[in-house]
Structure 1
Amino acid sequence: MAYKDFRAFLQRLRDEGQLLHIKQQVRLEPDLGSAGRAVTRLGANAPALFFDNIYGYKQGKAIAMNIIGSWANHALMLNMPKHTPIKEQFFEFVRRWEQFPVPVKRMDNAPFYEHEVSKNINLFEMFPFFRLNDYDGGFYIDKACIISKDLDDPDSFGKQNVGIYRAQVKGKNHLGIQPVPMHDIGIHLRKAEERNENLPIALAIGCEPVITTIAGSPLLYDQSEYEMAGAIQGEAYPIVRGKRTGLDLPWGAEIVIEGEVIARKREPEGPFGEFTGSYSGGRNMPIIEVHAVYHRENPILEDLYLGTPWTEIDYMLALNTCVPLYQQLKDAFPEIIAVNAMYTHGLLAIISTRTRYGGFAKAVGLRAMTTPHGLGYCKIVIVVDEDVDPFDLNQVMWALSTRFAPSKDLVLIPNASILPLDPSAEPAGITHKMVLDATIPVDPDIRGEFAQPLTPPAATDQWEKILRDLLQKNTERCNLPHENLPPL
């Protein structure tokens, strides 16, 4: 079943022991950023955090963090058991992705229309904003689903975009935004400014997790995020029309901000501690003029800590980056087995493939760099054989150490495009990229001493199951009260 809204997912997390309610009083700074960083150290089953006792704020103000910040929470987002392995989540994500498109469900009203503010807007008074990292240039809305449309084709539902972009709260009723040029919102803004028109925009904060995850996915330009969210959750996604922008909004959001990006106007924005683990510095960026704010009674402000990986954003953008790359590569090369682009939003990608002929793996790596996402990411692509699990870094390192010959298997592409946030780019937006071919050479590339590879003994799979079952029983035994322990 789909989660109808953000609160329904919070309840599921609570029921599964994956929501930690912090009842002690906290200060916005440094407590919230510190807690957001600290929870990422708790591993693959880290919980979400819920704060509702905030110093200086009346009861009713609440902040939620780390909502999809573990593989356990990610599995629950997919309505799978919380201990589902990553690889199983990947192939389930692929299976659902292939159900696209699922038509949306249009609603007449939404819970966030309960309260409307369109005069004397003061975002600072309405919501408990805070800085995540010490040298952030201000307060940021960093986990909103941001909706915009193509003004050259305004009636195209598919070309309407739902994306995740950082928005700096710069004044009572205006924001700064960073529209990466290769992302859909960058295309929308370019087209609007060519027409010398402002770009209508909406920010939906505190959405149920599927649309937030899909908003961070590199879909094709004319693919609807709402129709993909329907495919992932298994039923039509509910949307409602924006009162002022006419944009389609996630029905279950806690907070919605409507406004417009002002054409050809720029202001300094940043610095901000980014998902790369570095501050991005300050640049001139577009601004948003806020026209209206809508919110539920006692709205929950959702925030996302990001910094040196892994943090919530790495879980949130992991498989939804892998799967579209997998699909787009498989369209060109049916030999593709799996894609692991979980590292820093795909700046590094690992691809396993069957090899058709000598040099084939290098072509696969180059194709990855020309996918819609790869153009701005995929700085390093490692290609491995089908017998190597790209999600098992021990196997990947083995392949690199035994099957990669630096003199023959390194492909370097100078001065390629990259997103400006990559701290190694020089200038911002330009970098060298490389493909590392860690596959066994095949005809006509005959070289090396690759004898018949070792394969596991015949009963290995059966014994793995036996040992796992015994380990599980042993764990259950150890969890019994001492007096109930059976004799050894």
Structure 2
Amino acid sequence: MAYKDFRDFLDTLRKEGQLLTIEDEVMPEPDLGSAGRAINNVSDKSPALLFTNINGYQNASVAMNVIGSWPNHALMMGLPKNTPVKEQFFEFARRWDNFPVPVERMDSAPFQEVEINQDVNLFDILPLFRLNQYDGGFYIDKACVISRDPSDPDNFDKQNVGIYRIQVKGRDTLGIQPVPQHDIAVHLRMAEERGENLPVALAIGCEPVITTMAAAPIGYDQSEYEMAGAIQGEPYKVFTLPGTNLDVPWGAEFVLEGEILAGVREFEGPFGEFTGHYSGGRSMPVIRIKRVYHRKNPIFEHLYIGMPWTETDYMVGVNTCVPMYQQLKDAFPNEIVAVNAMYTHGLVAIISTKKRYGGFAKAVGMRAMTTPHGLGYCKLVIVVDETVDPFNLPQVMWALSTKMHPAHDVIILPDMSVLPLDPGSNPAGISHKMILDATTPVAPETRGHYSQPLDAPLATEKWEKIFQDLLSNQ
């Protein structure tokens, strides 16, 4: 099911009716950002967008909303496009267990068709535009950023592939926001303690599996490339850059090679974020680009980000749920049933669990807040019974309505860590967090009147299957 490269996936979307090509001339602003917003406003099965005629840019195309719906996400996994999200979650989790799948190293890469190593001017190379009207500048927000652990540079597993917001500051200069909870912030701190710049590479227009894994909160010493191999079912192809020894996605459209300058900070922002608010400006590290590779007639992939839901929410939905699910199962292997952390990148998480004894569900909620992702997110954790589908919001609301007692089932944890982009944090990066226990009380916590639950009619599962098959053939 693995895709050869970014273009191969676009071809699949086109064949499946999930790619809309716009050949009419468009303006970079406001048309491209507006289109990225609009496509998710009109449908939850929205196609990817490919713009081939952009005013002011010759031989440049822009792709947006590439993983911006559950059909596209299913196709990314090689599943039928009508696969329900809950099934996508469990299939993703099943493949997760195949980790690690060693990479396949390639001797050359398609992006080597064009190399620019003198007088780099990103304004000439990339079709840049603002996504939202009050953004502080042009942003690159769907690049896989690769860095190595400076204290252990030969350790492939500690090489990080992540996605961060990146502002174009000048001809060869970028600003980057490394959130403290993310691995690149660890790498940068180590490099700066040694008085060294941190080599980085930015890969734009990659196969969707590695982009998805780059946005996943996996362990520090877990390779995103080896996890991508597990998800796609065969080794992931990488190419080693001769200048920095960084392994980059073989099928990328663009690769920018440079380094984060030690000790240098510049004003970055504001930027319209996934929280549905502008983030304001902060002093952030700076990247100096030394070399650019790209394919002939490259496709620049961009991601609209703003008030949910947008492509961001589909891209970081299942791949946030599954790591938390696996990490919670490590602690509670017989109890955890499913995790839905798709809302605002997991600032809200819903966990379905069995219970051993009274108070157990509250402990599950507290453990979720100490997972790698939960440390910076999981501001609100809702815990429900194993019979409640956490992906079915009406069921979750029913559990909150009937199972939760405000006097007993609300846990407030003061002054916990959260990502600084949370607009409710005060000071930035600090927030109270809350657990809502919406499970049925069990001994010794016995209260309420829950002895006569209503079961579904006997043939309900049979008819669910009948209707799924009928609807999938429409």
SS at match of 1:54: coil
Deviations 1:39-97 (A, max 9, x none): 01132210000001111222x11000000000000000000000000011000000100
8 Å Cα contact 2:82-2:472 kept in structure 1: no
What is the CA deviation profile of residues 236-282 of structure 1, one whole-angstrom value per residue up to 9, with x for unaligned ones?
00001112111000000000000000001100000000010000000
SS in 2 for 1:407: coil
Contact 2:384 2:438 in 1 (8 A): yes
Give 1:460's aligned residue.
460
2:401: which partner in 1?
A: 401
Q: CA deviation at 1:304?
A: 0.1
Relative to the length of structure 1, the TM-score reads: 0.96
TM-score by length of 2: 0.98
1:382 match: 382
Residue 239 (structure 1) aligned with residue 238 (structure 2)? yes
Which residue in the other structure is 2:46 paired with? 46
The aligned residue for residue 364 of structure 2 is 364
**Match of 1:215?**
214
What is aligned with 2:161? 162
- In structure 1, the partner of 2:101 is 102
Deviation at 1:127, TM superposition (A): 1.3
What is aligned with 1:342?
342
Structure 2 equivalent of residue 67 of structure 1: 66
Aligned AA for 1:449? H
3-state DSSP class of the match of 1:236? coil
Shift of the 92–470 alpha-carbon distance from structure 1 to 2, 3 Å rule, reads: closer
- Kindly state the Cα deviation for residue 467 of structure 1 after the two structures are TM-superposed: 5.1
In the TM superposition, what is the alpha-carbon distance from 1:14 to its structure 2 partner? 0.5
How far residue 395 of structure 1 moved from its aligned partner, in angstroms, is 0.1
Measured after TM superposition, the shift of residue 469 of structure 1 is: 5.8
Are residues 1:373 and 2:395 paired? Answer: no
Pairwise CA distance, 1:387: 0.6
CA shift, 1:463, in A, is 3.5
Q: Distance in 1 between matches of 2:184 and 2:318?
A: 22
The answer for unaligned runs of 5 or more in structure 2 is: none
Residue 22 of structure 1 corresponds to 22
CA distance, structure 2, for counterparts of residue 248 and residue 75 of structure 1: 27
1:130 maps onto 2:143 in alignment? no
Q: How far apart are 1:471 and its partner, in Å?
A: 6.3
Residue in 2 that maps onto 1:286: 285
Aligned amino acid, residue 451 of structure 1: S
Instruction: Tell me which residue corresponds to 1:269.
Output: 268
Query: 1:399, CA displacement in angstroms?
Result: 0.1
SS of the residue corresponding to residue 397 of structure 1 reads helix
Q: CA deviation at 1:452?
A: 2.0
Q: 1:276 to 1:472 in 2, by over 3 A?
A: closer
The corresponding residue for 2:256 is 257
Other-structure match for 1:424: 424
Match of 1:480 in 2: none
Count residues in correspondence: 473
Q: Distance in 1 between matches of 2:101 and 2:260?
A: 30
Q: Deviations over 1:82-126 (max 9, x none)?
A: 000001100000010000000000111100011110101100011
- Which whole-Å CA distance do the structure 2 matches of 1:146 and 1:203 have between them? 5
Which amino acid is 1:17 matched to? G
Deviation at 1:285, TM superposition (A): 0.2
CA distance in 2 between counterparts of 1:168 and 1:87 reads 35
- Structure 1: which 5+ runs fail to align? 477-488
Change (3 A) 1:136 1:470: closer
Question: How far has the Cα of 1:16 moved from its partner?
Answer: 0.5
SS of 2:201's equivalent?
A: strand
Aligned equivalents of 2:287, 2:395: Cα separation in 1: 47
Q: Which moved more, 1:199-208 or 1:42-51?
A: 42-51
Amino acid paired to 2:456: P
Instruction: Provide the rounded CA distance (Å) in 2 between the counterparts of 1:158 and 1:470.
Output: 45
Q: Which residue of 1 aligns with 2:317?
A: 318
Aligned partner letter, 1:310:
W
Aligned amino acid, residue 119 of structure 1: Q
Q: CA 1:98–1:470 in 2, change beyond 3 Å: closer, same or farther?
A: closer
Residue 451 of structure 1, CA deviation: 1.9
Q: Distance in 2 between the 1:2 and 1:312 partners?
A: 21
Q: CA deviation at 1:468?
A: 5.4
1:472 is displaced (CA, Å) by 7.0
Change (3 A) 1:151 1:271: same
Distance 2:462 2:283 in 1: 60
1:352-376 superposed Cα distances (whole Å, 9 cap, x missing partner) = 0001100000000000000011000
Q: Hey, what's the Cα distance between the residues in 2 that align with 1:196 and 1:108?
A: 33
User: Where does residue 440 of structure 1 map in the other structure?
Assistant: 440
- Identity, in percent, stands at 69
1:177 Cα deviation from its structure 2 partner:
0.2
Q: State the secondary structure of the residue aligned to 2:200.
A: strand
Tell me: CA distance 1:62–1:440, structure 2 relative to 1, closer, same or farther (3 Å). same
Letter in 2 for 1:68: I
- Report the 3-state secondary structure (helix = DSSP H, G, I; strand = E; otherwise coil) of the residue aligned with 1:435: strand
| One-letter amino acid matched to 1:210 | V
Distance 1:288 1:466, change over 3 A: closer
